[in-house]
Amino acid sequence: MEFRIKNKDENEQFNDYEYPKYVKQIINLINQNTQATRPNNVGQLSDLFPEYASEKINISVKSWDEWYKNKMGDTITPAVDKIMKALPSMRTAIDQIDRAMVENYIKSLIIDKTYEGLNAQYKIISLIGEKLDLPFRRATKEEESKNIDGFINDIPVQIKPETFKITNPTTKVQEIDCVIIYYKKEKNETIVSFDETYFKSN
């Protein structure tokens, strides 16, 4: 069986404003920087829309627009103001971009960031192995596909930032049991936390 759903209902009056090339990307970037449409400014839309839909028998773009305004007031004007206020700074930044700046950015992305990010995992593993006087190694490609970053005393480990605890509170390591080693980057140092007894007792 096969069925198709149109992305847009032709009977609905959607906002089909036509933007010049690159303009939407620029507005989106400024929006991210200013956080103009974050939930604390415009409400948690993923919660608000189900609330609206549960109250209405017939839902539509127009009634959603009216319901939202009655519920939240005018959140659009302050969001627009935030973006417009930041727009001159964006124009100034764009005018300052030259080839050398773009080349430095691309090189940093491909070389520096890759090295810093991927080598940081092994650096932490090797420092722990040396500190505990235990054997250690990098994970192979096959082992990496199982979410393993490396081994300390033959025990598979994952290296995760402290923020992982907050952003993924219910995430479980899949396919294989790993020890998760957490790190937190501060201005001049990286703080690593782990349970050393786990490695020594195996």
Q: Mind listing the pLDDT tens digit for each residue in 79-131?
A: 999 999 999 999 999 999 999 999 999 999 899 888 877 778 888 899 889 98
Find the domain containing 166 and state its range: 100-200
Specify the pTM: 0.60
In angstroms, rounded to a whole number, what is the distance separating the alpha carbons of residues 78 and 60?
25
User: Which of 48, 71, 96 marks a domain boundary?
Assistant: 96
Tally of structural domains, the chain = 2
Residue 113: DSSP 8-state: I
Whether 35 maps to a domain, the answer reads yes
Q: Are 148 and 157 in contact (CB under 8 A)?
A: yes
Last residue of a domain, one of 58, 79, 96: 96
**Residue 168 backbone phi and psi in degrees, to 5:** -135, 60
138-179 per-position pLDDT tens digit? 888 898 888 899 999 999 999 888 887 766 555 554 444 788
Contacts 24+ apart (CB under 8 A), 27-30: 27/83, 29/90, 30/83, 30/86, 30/87, 30/90
Asked whether residue 143 falls in the same domain as residue 116, the answer is yes
Say if residues 28 and 37 touch (Cβ distance below 8 Å): no
Question: What is d(CA 14, CA 23) in angstroms, rounded to the nearest whole number?
Answer: 19
Q: Which residues pair with 179 in a beta bridge?
A: 157
Whether the per-residue pLDDT at 10 is higher than 70: the answer is no
